[in-house]
Amino acid sequence: MNRPGYITLPIITVLFCIGYIYYTTVFVAIEGWLRLSTAAGLANAAVFTALAVLCIATYTTAVVKDPGRVPAPFVPDLETPYSAIHEIKRKGGDLRYCQKCCHYKPPRAHHCRVCKRCVLRMDHHCIWINNCVGHENYKVFLVFLFYAVITSLHSLVLIIGNATHNVPNKEDLPSNDSRTSTIVCAVLLCPLTLAMSVLLGWHIYLILQNKTTIEYHEGVRATWLAEKAGNIYRHPYDLGAFKNLVSVLGPNICLWACPTSGHIGSGLRFRTSYDLSPASTPV
């Protein structure tokens, strides 16, 4: 079993794809269409290089950053004024307790069978980063997807532009190797861009409702049970679209695209729609 943070085949595959796409885009597509010796070619190469560096930096951070550990002495405080609800087991109604980790589970925490420990505000375990996506690295994971989609779209535009560029002289026709590299890169980029765009859109949808992937699936079942009983289910952590965005991305809009996470608190308590004090914040 591969431990989180260790180099695995999927991680090597992702890094290889980034390197291959970068080489083909800059030294084949841009050079063949705009030329690196021109201002337009140099500007596109500089922008694409910056985006590629951001992709690698955020991806590496998502791989190595701990998603959030439950402190060993953690015990739910039933009398705390800023946490009006406490998650309980489906059966029995007891406070959630992890038999494998031998401690109580904070709200929104779940045990990962791959990482073999409980993860704060766990969203899912991602094989492509060999790590869980949780409280501490969720924003970094999201920012990586954002930059990856922009970089892929930029690459596709340059590759399509190179492919449709009318070469005036036969001497300037691209070699077979260049054409093959361009075709392989385009075939790789099309499904990759589509998949990452869908994934980014899915997580934006989740953020707007302040849900994790696990909570979404749990909410589907809770909604069905509530409707069956004639009630209405409301996700307890939904504070409104903007406040939901702020709780994940931070209060400073200018830093939303930065892989920072110092604003998110301990991950042991979260504001809910039932809080008595609207000004209360997680600690």
Which residues are identified as catalytic?
126
CA contacts within 13 A on the Cβ side of 225 = 8
Q: Which neighbouring-strand residues pair with 95?
A: 88
Q: Which neighbouring-strand residues pair with 125?
A: 132
Q: Which residues contact 60 (CB under 8 A, 6 or more apart)?
A: none
Q: Which of 261, 36, 237 is nearest to 135 (CA)?
A: 261
CA 118 to chain centre: 19
Distance from C-alpha of 239 to C-alpha of 248, rounded to nearest angstrom? 12
Distance from C-alpha of 86 to C-alpha of 240, rounded to nearest angstrom? 20
Contact 157, 91 (CB under 8 A): no
Q: Which helix (H) or strand (E) holds 118?
A: strand 117-119
